[in-house]
Amino acid sequence: MSNFKELLKKSMKLRFIRKAFVSLNDDALMRRLLNLNPNQLTFEKTQGNQNPSKWVYWISLNDKGNGFFALFNRMLRYLAYADYYHLTPLITYGNEGLNVDPNMAGNNTVFDYYFNQPSNIDVNRLTEQKHLIKSRYVDSQMLFESIQDNVEYLLTEKEILRLGKVFKQYVTFNDETQKRLDSKHLNVLSDQRILGVHIRGTDFRNINKHHPKFIDEQTYFDVIDPALESKQYDGVFLATDDVDLLESFKSRYTDKLYYHQDVFRSDKKENLASQDAQRTKHQYLSGLEVLLDVYTLAHCHGLVAGLSQVSLAARIMNVALAKPYQDTTILSKGFHR
């Protein structure tokens, strides 16, 4: 035995084999080892010597067709990757995304419209860093086994808990965003027990590959009605992008229904941010309004929702708030393939 211990000390390969063998039940570790290839890391050429003790991880989100929370939730997974590997994150969104607003002043990306950077590194001084690693799409999947075949909606409770902790550690709203969120959501919730409901319409009515199928309002009513009749909740907060769905809920729940009134909704089958709303800073406001919906949903006492990036973000944010839902019902009719 003593000879074997001496061999272990001398041989890194033997130590690796032993570590791998005793970790056979650690699925997360196996996933990281299978995916981790140093030759695939994207090291950016830099011209500076800033922060020589830090490995700066540049989270670059350039998906121009994705909605606000599709990008946001992916960003959280990148942050989880950075946290696991002790990297210093810095975040930029591309200049072709749905929420890019030409009326927003300065050189800020969409991320900076709403949030503070998670580190004190200036986004405009990327090329001055000593060590700079650019994110790869695979990074956002490595710690999350539930993401398969480009479907990003089916995170496990354990994975949601992990992202809730990441949110709490790394994500803060900038002053303007925090002020608007606080002034709006408190007016809706007051001191009542409110059931949060999110239902997607507009472009969710289309057949989009890898996206959840649309769920009609009657399916929601079948869940909400018993919850109200049993006196578990005093009312319903509705988050929706769809004018017709809002009208259906107003007719059914009348004075028990709460919703944000001064936001843009539509009866078209298009993403709200891509529509011509005839208002200044429409792209910026579209992001702020869906953020307000999620923030309010996260503060509710229960949740009924379909599979969507919005409902996923609300569940993550609810974990970060440490105010767990009394009930969580996620409705699904499967995915478009």
Residue 197 has pLDDT above 70, yes or no: yes
Q: Flag whether pLDDT at 39 surpasses 50.
A: no
* Cα–Cα distance, 59 to 92 (Å, whole number): 6
Q: State mean pLDDT over 144-168.
A: 90
Instruction: Determine the pLDDT at residue 135.
Output: 93
- Can you list the domains of the chain with their CATH numbers? 18-159 (no CATH), 173-331 (3.40.50.11350)
Residues 203, 267: Cα–Cα separation, whole Å: 10
The percentage of the chain sitting over the pLDDT mark of 70, rounded to a whole number, equals 80
220-235 pLDDT tens trace: 999 999 999 999 999 9
**Secondary structure in 3-state letters for 218-281:** HHHHHHHHHHHHCCCCCEEEEEECEHHHHHHHHHHHHHHEECCCCCCCECCCCCHHHCCCCCCC
What was the pLDDT predicted at 330?
96
Q: Is the pLDDT of residue 312 over 80?
A: yes
Instruction: Take residue 162 and report the two structure tokens written for it.
Output: 């992990």
Asked whether residue 313 carries a pLDDT value surpassing 70, the answer given is yes
- The pLDDT of residue 15: 64
Average pLDDT of the chain to the nearest whole number: 85
d(CA 170, CA 116): 9
pLDDT digits (tens, 9 = 90+) for 6-31: 665 556 566 667 766 776 776 655 65
Rounded to two decimals, the pTM is 0.84
pLDDT in tens, 79-114: 999 999 999 999 999 877 777 888 887 667 899 999
Convert the pLDDT of each residue in 251-304 to its tens digit. 999 999 999 988 877 766 666 656 676 778 888 998 999 999 999 999 999 999
Residue 230: count other Cβ atoms within 10 Å of its Cβ: 8
Quote the Cα angle for 233-70-312, to 5°.
25
Question: 146 pLDDT band (50/70/90 cuts)?
Answer: confident
Q: For the stretch 278-317, what's the b/e string if a residue is b when 16 or more beta carbons lie within 10 angstroms of its beta carbon? A: eeeebbbbbbbbbbbbbbbbbbbbbbbbbbbbbbbbbbbb
Write a three-state SS string for 36-87: CCHHHCEECCCCCCECCCCCEEEEEECCCCCCHHHHHHHHHHHHHHHHHCCC
| Strands 235-240, 257-258: pairing kind | parallel
- The answer for residues whose C-beta is within 8 angstroms of residue 283's C-beta and 6 or more apart is 98, 99, 100, 101, 273
Q: Where are any strands of DSSP class E within 119-176?
A: 132-134
pLDDT exceeds cutoff 80 at 2: no
